[in-house]
Amino acid sequence: MSGLQPVRGTHDLLPEDSRRHRFVEETAFDVAKRYGYGEIVTPIFEFTEVFSRTLGETSDVVTKEMYTFADRSGDSITLRPEGTAGVARAFISGGLTQSLPLKVMYRGPMFRHERPQKGRLRQFHQVGCELLGVDGPQADIEVISMAWRILAALGLSDKVQLEINTLGDAESRAAYRAALIAYLEPLRLSLSEESQARLQKNPLRVLDSKDEEDKRVVANAPLMGDSLTPAAKDFFDQVTAGLTALGIPFVVNPKLVRGLDYYCHTAFEFTTTALGAQGTVLAGGRYDGLIGQMGGPATPGIGWAAGIERLSMLVQDLPQLDRPISIIPMGDTLPALVLADRLRAAGLSVDMGFSGNMKKRMARANKANARFAVILGEDELARGAVTLRDLDAGTQEEIPLDQVEGRLTGA
């Protein structure tokens, strides 16, 4: 069958793309280890309720974007659209309350049926962290600082901007909700149908609307900062003071919100303009009410997730790969295979030139950026020797076959 293409919104990670992805992942996990985070791996599909209860029955993700299907047992199953809900479910079902504080990192594919665009796919990949069991601002400072250090380790500190806001405590949110409804209700007919439906049930979601008319209506809406209790303001002041003390630059964005009720206090995003229009590459916040809402014990939490595709597009300089040794057999290949096996066992990267004349095999060695070429000709092998060519210096010499490993490993 000709013309086979990947499904719209998906793509193949060919070796160079995969190397970029792996660099982002491994950099994130390497930094996270310094903060004491371990890896958690949850299934890529869950019972649909795990996501519908946590993301909100009326959210765009639940109503428009989730890949949901009935399995052969008739259960409603959903491919995970994000990572936090699965981690929270694992915390509850795994009985991990005795492990608090719990500090975990995750990585892997997520699935959302949305319009594909630059850096946004229907199967995309994220790396993220969750810190459960710490209700003080020091947790917020830690997870944000870890995100900043990861982005800096990727060489992106000059390409991203940290935007931060507070969503306040429960009392602050109740006051803000009332103020927002009082502002929006007289303007109800100017809102989109979707926002009209959300107005009483979840008015903060109106602030998230992508509808241009909705954006115009909410441009002069009251801000959360005007409804903060003294305790909530003090919490946010401690977070910003901590970031300042750590030398992490940020701007306060009073319009940065999270619509679901279990979010509270700190919300933040790292944005960039390096991919065209301003876009978010890493986002997170505090969600003290999530695990309780899912049926678990009341447990504070904060975390973030980053899109690996977008970060990969921003990364400029990948670490140099180990330069291989190119082995070029010009007769019997068995001695070459034995030598290659010995060199790999000694920790060296080896590229085998299987076919072609000498010119083509040397071209392959140069394309692979090989440091040395080991040529096994029939005449040399008859003398128990090989030709060792230094591809940087352009020199070569004949050495005994049994000395090759020592020469190349410096033994």
Report whether 252 contacts 234 (CB < 8 A).
no
Residue-level pLDDT at 61: 67
112 annotated as a binding-site residue:
yes
User: Has this prediction a pTM greater than 0.85?
Assistant: yes
183 annotated as a binding-site residue:
no
68 annotated as a binding-site residue:
no
User: What is the per-residue pLDDT across 170-210, written as a single tens digit (0 to 9) for each?
Assistant: 899 889 989 989 999 898 888 888 888 888 778 888 887 88
Sketch out the chain's domains with CATH numbers: 15-169+229-314 (3.30.930.10), 325-409 (3.40.50.800)
Q: What is the 3-state secondary structure (H, E, C) of the chain?
A: CCCCCCCCCCCCCCHHHHHHHHHHHHHHHHHHHHCCCEECCCCCEEEHHHHHHHHCCCCHHHHHHCCEEECCCCCEEEECCCCHHHHHHHHHHCCHHHHCCEEEEEEEEEECCCCCECCECCEEEEEEEEEECCCCHHHHHHHHHHHHHHHHHCCCCCCCEEEEEECCCHHHHHHHHHHHHHHHHHHHHHCCHHHHHHCCCCCHHHHCCCCHHHHHHHCCCCCHHHHCCHHHHHHHHHHHHHHHHCCCCCEECCCCCCCCCCCEEEEEEEEECCCCCCEEEEEEEECCCHHHHCCCCCCCEEEEEEEHHHHHHHCCCCCCCCCCEEEEECCCCHHHHHHHHHHHHCCCCEEECCCCCHHHHHHHHHHCCCCEEEEECHHHHHCCEEEEEECCCCEEEEEEHHHHHHHHHCC
Residues of the chain with confidence (pLDDT) below 50: 1-2, 411
Distance CA 217, CA 32 (A): 41
49 annotated as a binding-site residue:
no
Report whether 141 contacts 246 (CB < 8 A).
yes
22 annotated as a binding-site residue:
no
User: What is the per-residue pLDDT across 237-273, written as a single tens digit (0 to 9) for each?
Assistant: 999 999 999 999 999 998 888 877 788 999 999 999 8
310 annotated as a binding-site residue:
no
Report cis status (omega within 30 of 0) of the bond before 222.
no
Residue-level pLDDT at 200: 76
Residue-level pLDDT at 194: 83
82 annotated as a binding-site residue:
yes
Q: Could you tell me the end-to-end alpha-carbon distance of the chain, in angstroms, rounded to an integer?
A: 53
106 annotated as a binding-site residue:
no
Distance CA 136, CA 151 (A): 24
Q: Which amino acid is at 220?
A: N
Report whether 109 contacts 99 (CB < 8 A).
no
Q: What is the C-alpha radius of gyration for the chain, rounded to an integer number of angstroms?
A: 28
194 annotated as a binding-site residue:
no
